[in-house]
Amino acid sequence: MSYRLPSIISIAPTSGTTKGGVATTIRGSDFGPASAVVSLLTLSDTSALAFTSVVHVDDSTITAVTPPLTGTNNLKGLTVLLTIGGQTVATSTYD
């Protein structure tokens, strides 16, 4: 069985803080049923920083809390990487 590749349409808020802890809503399509496991949700420039408190709400919504940033991360142009149901999608709309 195959599924359509999930896509991220928006991330709100569109920016955060280097301290992390920002409640975030990720909207998109083809996330699958709430029972589908979100196996990875990270912010990345060169190293993956995992979101916490990830909740797969429904086929188009995931909520999570942003991670604190480390190293030279300046919170600009970070890639959001989502792996759900064995499929991965990335977007770089998080500043």
Model pLDDT for residues 56-95, shown as the tens digit of each residue: 999 999 999 988 877 665 566 788 889 988 888 878 667 6
Contact status, residue 43 vs residue 74, Cβ threshold 8 Å = no
Is the full-model pTM beyond 0.75? Answer: yes
Tokens of 86: 């064995």
Tokens of 32: 């699958």
Question: Between β-strands 52-58 and 61-65, what pairing exists: parallel, antiparallel or unpaired?
Answer: antiparallel
Task: Give the contacts of 34 (CB within 8 A, at least 6 positions apart).
Answer: 56, 57, 58
